[in-house]
Structure 1
Amino acid sequence: MIPDLLAALLIGLIGSSHCLVMCGGIAAALQLSMPKQRNGYNWQLPLLLSLGRLTTYSLFGAAVGYFGASAMQLAGTSLLWLRLLAGILLLMMALYISRLWFGLIHLEKLGQKLWRHVQPIAKKLLPLNSRRKAYAYGLCWGALPCGLVYSTLGWSLASGSLLQGAAIMFSFGVGTLPAILLTGSAAGLLIKLKNTLMLRYITAAMLAIYASYTIWLAIRRLVF
């Protein structure tokens, strides 16, 4: 389980350049709408906003993880097939992070219908002038269509349990936090670092090796 969580963390950290394109403007606009007060209140609201987003990710991960395990048990099929699927999805994410393949972006269309229902609720919470509103808006923000989120959800589906599915999505969300929370020169430095091809290739290679090992292990146990 620990290698899965580390892999999810890396995917969130390196893949969050895409998050900055989709969510960076939203995060900046939301932070501008927050009241500037002393005693750390102006930091509490952005943190609660992100905590709400991670809560939604975790709930989605738990739901699909439970569904995947239950479906395989009802079908009387080995959970190793889910592990094989997890390896394939992880390999796809490695290709996406290396920028050799951008197929995951097409998954964003799948969540547009859900976002149409969530977006009006989110708008009613503006401006974010309280802790409750910040957390609630974060819950809505977690439903924003994102190919990287959906592919990680597919990986959670293949995790084989409710807790593992939630943990994978939470680790992914934690990996995206630096890109969302940092501002100014710190954010610029992080973007520059993550866009370094060598770093992306090294990270993608590590994920691809782990994905290949996962696929090989599942196939070996299924066949033998």
Structure 2
Amino acid sequence: MSTELAANFFVALSIGFLGSSHCLVMCGGIVSALQLSMPQVSVLQQLKLQFILSLGRLTTYGLLGALTGAFGAAVLVKLGISLFWLKLLAGVLLLLMAFYVARLWFALTVLEKLGSALWRKIQPVAKALLPLDSGSKALGYGLCWGFLPCGLVYSSLGWSLASGSAYEGAVLMLAFGLGTLPAMLAVGSFARQLSQFKNNTLIRAGAAVLLALYALYTIALALAPRLF
């Protein structure tokens, strides 16, 4: 893994973690409903089904990241679009994510409306898998869950598109998905403590500043060859 990809992996992981408060708003009801739909088995078995659900969701993220990354690479070659534009897009999206994490501007939520039509087609398939009384149903539902409209997911996909590589696109989306896992799997007092940590003003402000600086660095890398 290159140094740049390793840095992007860490940034995507952080975005997933810090942005997962929004994930809880979007998906919290789903998580609760899914827990209720699980059979009356041991806590360990329910946790296993939750992990399988998350595996399905992350698989969808990874596949979508690979597809968008491959598409970005194809666009570069076939349409002759300069890497400059994709890198610039990546920087702008990162800057929007920084505003989102800082809770200064929620422009990314507009993207959620774009995926609503697709989700309406997938949702009946997901509902048909309930109740989640087997690992295969949990995996199938998780695969569907990955298509739930979310501004952070779609902006991360835009970042994957800008990576210009199927491999890097998949890595970025998987890192984002891994970052959301603690919030999705947390229960009880740990969930409250995790939420308090993420919502701490200094934590969010510090993370937003670092993300904004990385966004500006990405934009500068894109602009440098044209300015100097």
Q: What TM-score bracket applies, with the shorter chain setting the length?
A: over 0.9
Residue 129 (structure 1) aligned with residue 129 (structure 2):
no
Residue 26 (structure 1) aligned with residue 26 (structure 2):
no
Residue 95 (structure 1) aligned with residue 124 (structure 2):
no
Matched residue, 1:177: 181
Superimposed CA distance per residue, residues 10-64 of structure 1 (whole angstroms, 9 cap, x where no aligned partner): 0000000000111012112101211243493222100000110001111111111
What does residue range 18-167 of structure 1 map to in structure 2 within 5 Å?
Answer: 18-38=22-42, 40-167=44-171
Where in structure 1 do 4 or more consecutive aligned residues deviate above 4 Å?
none
SS in 1 for 2:82: coil
Which structure 1 segments of 5+ residues have no match?
Answer: none
Give the conservation status (yes or no) of the 8 Å contact 1:69–1:79. no
Matched residue, 1:204: 208
SS in 2 for 1:55: helix
Give the conservation status (yes or no) of the 8 Å contact 1:50–1:177. yes
TM-score normalised by the chain length of structure 2: 0.95
SS in 1 for 2:19: helix
Identity of aligned residues (%): 58
What is the CA–CA distance in structure 2 between the aligned matches of 1:93 and 1:57, rounded to whole Å?
A: 18
Task: Give the residue type in structure 1 aligned to 2:113.
Answer: K
Which structure 2 segments of 5+ residues have no match?
Answer: none
What is the CA–CA distance in structure 1 between the aligned matches of 2:92 and 2:154, rounded to whole Å?
A: 14
What is the CA–CA distance in structure 2 between the aligned matches of 1:168 and 1:76, rounded to whole Å?
A: 24
Give the conservation status (yes or no) of the 8 Å contact 1:91–1:207. yes
Matched residue, 2:191: 187
What is the CA–CA distance in structure 2 between the aligned matches of 1:210 and 1:81, rounded to whole Å?
A: 17
TM-score normalised by the chain length of structure 1: 0.97
What is the CA–CA distance in structure 1 between the aligned matches of 2:167 and 2:140, rounded to whole Å?
A: 23
SS in 2 for 1:144: coil
Cα distance, 1:116–1:99 mapped onto 2, change above 3 Å = same
What is the CA–CA distance in structure 2 between the aligned matches of 1:211 and 1:221, rounded to whole Å?
A: 17
Residue 218 (structure 1) aligned with residue 218 (structure 2):
no
What is the CA–CA distance in structure 2 between the aligned matches of 1:2 and 1:222, rounded to whole Å?
A: 26
